[in-house]
Structures are given as C-alpha cells and as structure tokens.
Structure 1
Amino acid sequence: MINHLLVLPRLRIQNANAISSPMTWGFPAMSAFIGMMQALERNLPEDIKLVFNEIGVVCHRIDPQVTEGSFTRAFHLTRNPVDKTGSTAAIVEEGRAHLEVSLLIGVEADGGDDLESAERRQAIAQRLYRQVQGMRIAGGSVVPPHPGERCYRPELISFDAKEAESANQWRRLKRRLLPGFALVLRDDRLIEHTATLQENDTSATPLDAWLDLSRINYECRVTQGADGKKQASWEIRRPYPGWLVPIPVGYGGISELFDPGEVANARATDVKFRFVESLYSIGEWVSPHRIQDPEALMWFVENDLKHNIYRLSNAYTDTLIND
C-alpha cells in the first residue's frame, strides 16, 4: 500500500542508453531507473528524511537515434579521434535515445519528517525536482525546460486514508500522466505461452516462448472462395492482446562470490564480486488511465540471494488478480 508518492513530471532526458541488455534495445532497462532512485535517496539533503521504496515510469515520448528509411536500422555513433598510428580507433557500439518521462517514486517518512503538511510536501517535491535536473538518468542528461516553455509542477502526494478519496486522488493524477504509456511486468504471459508451446512440442523452452512473443509472427490462412478455388492470405498471429515487449529484469549469478579485491580490474575493490548474466522476461506497455491502483505501476527490488538471483519485480499481475 502506497501512502506517499513523489511525482517528477515530464523529465526530458537526452542521450539515454537505448541498449538495455545484450539482446534488447529501445527503452532503457528498469534497473537504470531503480539506480537513479537509489542515487537520489543517497544524496538527499540532511533535512529531508525519506525512504524510497519503489519507482514507476511513464514514457510520453521516445526518439531513438537511429537511421530511418529502411528495414534495417543502425545507431548514430560518435566519430572518435584516431589512434597514435592514424587508424580509426576501435569503439564499443552505443545506442542512444531521447526520452520524455514522468517518474513516480513511492516514499515513506523516516526520522519524523512531517508529510502531513501540504506546504512541507510541496517544498520537498520542488527541491528534489531541482536536484534531479542535475543527475544522470539511464546514462543520459536531464535537460531543464527552456525559458518560455511550459513548466510542470512536481508533487508529493499523501494519499487519504479513506479509500474513496484515495481513488479520486489517483484518478486526478492519471489525467496528468496522459498521453503516455507505463511499462509493467507480464511474467504470467511468458509462463502461459511456454505451456502453450509445450502442448505441441515437449522440447519447447521459456526461451522459445520469449522469442515467439518478441517478434511479429505471420500465419498463412487458406480459405475457399466463391468460385471453389482456394485463396491464401497472410495474417499476423497475436497470441495475447496488448503491447508486449521483451525486457531485461535483472541478473543471475554464474560464479561463486569472490572477496573484495580478489578479481582483477573489478570496478569496485571494496565490495564482494560475482559474475552474472542478464535475466529476461516479458513486459507490457499500458496506458495509465487503465491502471486502477498506483501499486501496479511500481517496480521494486526482489532478490533471491539463496539462488543468486538479483532481479526487479512489479505487482501489475497481482492487481489484476485482486480485481
């Protein structure tokens, strides 16, 4: 249950990382926004005592920096200086996209900060909104509004204890988030589609189901015409309604846990180290006006240290079951 929600509206991010994992590209991974939330929490002003628990992201616009006009697209890459021999220096391909997003962060008071006062909540929202303007989000830079452009007001909402009034507050907020789409987790679609494929092929795996849901599938339909001749037509096969996309959801350990400094060239030498690989699932883009509970938007950390799983989760499916 979310009691307080920090709304950072219409953040424009330039050159965000569009390569979300080794196998997906487009919108940044949700782990990038979780990282931003944690960085903001670590750098809170001393007089603001808040704990950040979860984050939701609503995308209003995305502009991938890719070539246009053909089926195959390529990222716009930087031209780096030549090396000491005069040859073109080797580069690691980077994909970038310009974004406009609204962030919703579930917070709670820590240390007695007064969130019952509307003036105090608004002051906190304004200060954190200004602080975010100088941060990096998903590797991109937050671009402040230009003079004369419309400015959007951040807000720290304290939901009413009465269910009816709380629903009205959420309804008013949803209107502010339009037009846009929120990314939610659909593990249930992946599980269900895996079972469907295994009915016809017992060797089918979750990877087969993930790939099948990640692409556009055409099927040939043969019908009998009025003249008795057979006619063939191609149709797109959509096993489920909605805008489904492949997404990374975290990492799985593939090695033992090494002591600090034991692995050469590790980024941090004061923390333990483990080799990992990406974990994948299926997500869905949903319009905010279809979401009845703000909890359905929120992403949070749900690690399973016993099995070396470091992943994110989302309660969208749980809210559908509750409805």
Structure 2
Amino acid sequence: MTDCPAFEHLLIIPRLRVQNANALSSPLTHGFPSMTAFLGLMWALERKTSAAGLDLQFNAIGVVAHRHQEQITEDAFINTLRLTRNPINRDGSTAAIVEEGRIHLEISLVLAVQSEVLNTDQSAGDSLARQVLDLLMQMRIAGGSVIPSTALPSKQRPYLLHLTGDESARYELFNRAKLRLLPGFALVDRQDLLEQRHQALQATAPEATKLDAWLSLSRINWSYSLDDQDSDSTTKEKWTHDRKNLGWIVPIPVGYGALGEVLEPGSVGNARDGQTAFRFVESLYGIGQWLSPHRLQSPQQLLWYADSLPEQGLYRCRNDYRPTALYDLD
C-alpha cells in the first residue's frame, strides 16, 4: 500500500455550491458523488492551470460536505429519484429514460499542492488561489454546475496554506484550517472496519467472504435477545443492533478493477477518446466514514489520491485515515 504523495501547500476552496451533481456514485451506491469524480476534477483542473501558465501540481484532494439535498421523492420506506424527461428521438418517438440521480451540494475542496513558485514567493498564494477559483467556476463538479456568487464573503474566499515549517507548526496551521471547515463532514476510508467485520463473520461462518462483510456493514443488523430476570422474576425482551460506536459509516466505491486486458487506441467503437488505450473495468467497493474535520489529526487523513496498479488491473482511490486512540474512546 502506498502513502499520500508529498506536498508542501494546501489550496482550500471553501463553500462551493454545486447544482445537479451526480448522486449515483456506482451501480450499487448513491447519496454522494464518488471520490473518483473528485480525483477526475483535480486532474482536469491541473490541465487547465497548466494551460493558463500556473505552476501548480495537484497530488491529492479532500472534500468536506456542508449541505446536501438529494433530488428524491420520499414515500414511506421507498425513495424514488426525481428524473428529468429526455428529448424525443429524431423520428419523434419517445427516448428511453436513463436514471440519473441528482444532488445539490455545498462543499469545500482541499487540494494538496506542489509548486516551485510558491516555495520561492509565498506572497503569490492569494493571486494563484483566485485564479484557480476562476478556472473552477468554468468547470463541472461530478457532472454538476458550480453556482457563482456575485460577492464572496471572507469565509468563502480561497486561500493557500503553506506547510513549510516544522511538524509542530504544520499541525497548528492545519488545526486552524480544519476549524474553518466547520460545520461539515469529511469522507475517509475505513478499510479497517471491513477487515474487522470479515474476521467477526468468519468466527461463526468460516465461508464468509469480503462481500458478506461489506453487505453486513452496509445495513443495520438487528438481533433479538432475552435479558436476565429482574427482581420480580420476569424476563424482558431486548432488540439490539451492531452500529453502536461505529459512527456514520457508508458503503462507497473506491476505484475500478479491470475486466480484461488493455486494448489498443481506436480498437473499441464509440470510445470517448480514440487516441488513448482502452480497458473495460467495474467498480470496486469499500467502507467509508463521515467525520467532522476537527477529528482529523493531519492533512493526510483528509486527502484522497490515486494508486494505480495496471499490471494487477487495479485503479484505486486511497486515503490514509487511521483511527486514533482518542477517537476510539469517544
């Protein structure tokens, strides 16, 4: 397993409003865009900044969600996506409806940056941050439109955090920055919970797989038991669930796994890019947790980065969050 790539600066773009982003993060999950969408945004933004002559290299990205409104219609225990009507075909027939989950978001982006210009002239940070925001306003985030603000209040202005001091100074700078991201929740990777649940299932069912563990963590599992007899010699029934002390955990896609070999450019019909090699893939799944930013101890616990192993057919999104003893005692 790799670690988060090195960086010396954090570019923080707070309180972006996004309309109609993609709420279907994978064939099996919904409710928030996949981290693959934000990594794609990071790479697309880097290409735009490079074309604009800005010396910025983005190595990782973090997302803090402040508000979300999934476009669904609630009906008892069943939620239904609010779908848009597709245009008719050329012959006037009705086009097929493809389900597109949509969600309105208010998010903050945290980008890990390497830059020679910032290393030599830190006063250029404010100007670079504003230029990056201007470019970002022209883009889509997870398929959604960025809603511009006519005037940015101070809490919504982008800024650069220079993490060039010693470890204590960097921690203090990050500690101040994460408090400015409140209230909100950051998505982190909890692969450790998946491993623990898998081991627990195998203790009673040795044939249990990682998929069984993932499905078990994706739902609330209730169990029935009888309490010990009390003073009046009556037995009480008790229902319990397995989510105690687990926090706000969710099933998430964590990248893609190859279904076959890499194919030559232009050999697959209707591919988006005929100049790039092509490979069929499917989603990989893991477990994530939404945490308040004030619980994070370092920028690496917030940031997500790419970890590709083409020879193994794995294209993963990684996050270096590790639970601390302080958090486990809460």
Q: Please confirm whether the aligned pair reaches a TM-score higher than 0.5, indicating the same fold.
A: yes
Aligned to 1:100: 106
1:298 correspondence with 2:303: yes
Which of the numbers 21, 26, 36 marks the counterpart of 1:16? 21
Q: How many residues align?
A: 319
Quote how far apart the aligned CAs of 1:157 are: 1.2
Q: TM-score, normalised by structure 2?
A: 0.91
- Match of residue 64 from structure 2: 58
Cα distance in 2 for partners of 1:198, 1:28 equals: 32
- Alignment match, 2:48: 43
Query: Whole-Å Cα distance in 2 between the matches of residues 15 and 275 of structure 1?
Result: 27
Give the alignment partner of residue 131 of structure 1, picking from 131, 135, 157: 135
Identity %: 47
Name which of structure 1's ranges 164-173 and 20-29 shifts more when overlaid on structure 2: 164-173
Secondary structure at the aligned position of 1:316 is classed as coil
Q: For each residue in 1:12-32, what CA deviation from the matched residue of structure 2 results, as whole angstroms up to 9, or x when unmatched?
A: 110000000000001100000
Residue identity opposite 1:218 in structure 2? W
Contact kept? 1:217, 1:236, Cα under 8 Å? yes
The amino acid of 1:191's aligned partner reads E
Which of these residues, 140, 146, 156, is aligned with residue 152 of structure 1? Answer: 156
CA contact (8 A) 1:257 1:274 kept: yes
1:233 — aligned with what? Answer: 238
Instruction: Confirm or deny: 8 A CA contact 2:7 2:59 kept in the other structure.
Output: no
Q: How has the CA–CA distance of structure 1 residues 47 and 90 changed in structure 2, closer, same or farther, with 3 Å as cutoff?
A: closer
Q: Matched residues in 2 for 1:202 and 1:134: separation? A: 53
1:67 matched to which residue of 2? 73
CA distance in 1, matches of 2:90, 2:159: 52
Question: What is the aligned partner in structure 1 of residue 288 from structure 2?
Answer: 283
1:119, CA displacement in angstroms?
2.8
Structure 2 gaps of 5+ residues are 1-5
> Which 5+ residue runs of structure 1 have no aligned equivalent?
none
**Separation in 2 of the partners of 1:237 and 1:257?**
42
**What is aligned with 2:215?**
211
User: How does 1:106-185 map onto structure 2 within 5 Å?
Assistant: 106-109=112-115, 112-146=116-150, 152-185=156-189
TM-score by length of 1: 0.93
Cα distance between partner residues in 2 of 1:73 and 1:181? 23
Provide the alpha-carbon RMSD of the alignment: 2.1
Deviation at 1:265, TM superposition (A): 2.0
CA distance 1:197–1:306, change in 2 (3 Å):
same
Residue 77 of structure 2: SS of its match in structure 1? Answer: coil
Go from structure 1 to structure 2 and tell me whether the alpha carbon gap of 1:8 and 1:222 turns closer, same or farther (over 3 Å shift). Answer: same
Instruction: Quote the offset at 1:166 in angstroms.
Output: 1.7
Contact 2:48/2:135, CA 8 A, preserved across alignment: no
Larger deviation, residues 45-54 vs 113-122: 113-122
Summarize the Cα distance change of 1:105–1:29 in structure 2 as closer, same or farther, 3 Å threshold.
same
Residue type at the aligned position of 1:106: A
2:294 and 2:321 map into 1 onto residues whose CA distance is 14
8 Å Cα contact 1:2-1:295 kept in structure 2? no
Aligned-partner residue type, residue 42 of structure 2: M
Tell whether the 8 Å contact from 1:2 to 1:294 is kept in structure 2 after alignment.
Answer: no
Rounded Cα–Cα distance in structure 2 between residues aligned with 1:255 and 1:281: 22
Deviates more, 1:227-236 or 1:79-88: 79-88
